[in-house]
């Protein structure tokens, strides 16, 4: 009898521990997709990101860090303002961050490769900050080759 009670207790504790609330004070950010992994001049790249936030106060900043494997001169950090929207408690949704590569249409630009004669093999990191200053964990894109 005690063994059955102990087993039942362990199962209940496991279920409760695994059933974490997806809405936390610290924003949660997930990488969903990127529209291309080979970026050429005159085109855009769009990153799709998902988010959740308990307070719904994510209307602050999204940071993007570009890390280039073969040319550290091409590494950049940029920040973009998150547009205001009506979010209540337990907010969730998706972001799209679109950047141009020599696109020239008023959208933020990705810089060209900085090492002579080489393309950039890069990945992009994203962090979301809410109005209270809480930051999400960092999420990463797959590798993107930026053609010279």
Q: Phi and psi dihedrals of 52, rounded to 5? A: -140, 150
49-53, 85-89, 141-145 — most confident range: 141-145
Report whether pLDDT(124) > 90.
yes
Instruction: Please give the domain boundaries of the chain with CATH numbers for all domains.
Output: 21-146 (2.60.40.10)
The two tokens of residue 51 are 């988010």
**Band (103; pLDDT cuts 50, 70, 90):** confident
Burial of 114: CB neighbours in 10 Å, binned 0-12, 13-18, 19+:
middle
pLDDT in tens, 55-96: 877 878 999 999 999 888 889 999 998 877 777 788 888 889
- In order of 24, 61, 143, the CA distances from 33 in angstroms are 23, 20, 12
pLDDT of residue 65: 95
Half-sphere exposure of 75 (CA within 13 A, CB side): 8
């Amino acid at each position: 009898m005690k063994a059955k009670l102990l087993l039942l207790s362990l199962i209940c504790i496991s279920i409760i521990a695994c059933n974490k609330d997806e809405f936390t004070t610290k924003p949660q950010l997930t990488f969903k997709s990127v529209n291309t992994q080979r970026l050429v001049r005159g085109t855009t790249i769009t990153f799709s990101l998902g988010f959740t936030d308990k307070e719904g106060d994510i209307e602050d900043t999204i940071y993007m860090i570009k890390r280039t494997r073969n040319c550290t001169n091409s590494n950049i950090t940029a920040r973009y303002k998150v547009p205001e929207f009506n979010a209540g408690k337990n907010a969730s949704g998706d972001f799209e961050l679109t950047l141009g590569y020599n696109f020239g249409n008023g959208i933020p630009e990705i810089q060209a490769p900085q090492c002579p004669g080489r393309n950039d093999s890069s990945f992009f990191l994203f962090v979301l900050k809410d109005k209270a200053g809480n930051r999400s964990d960092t999420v990463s894109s797959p590798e993107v080759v930026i053609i010279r």
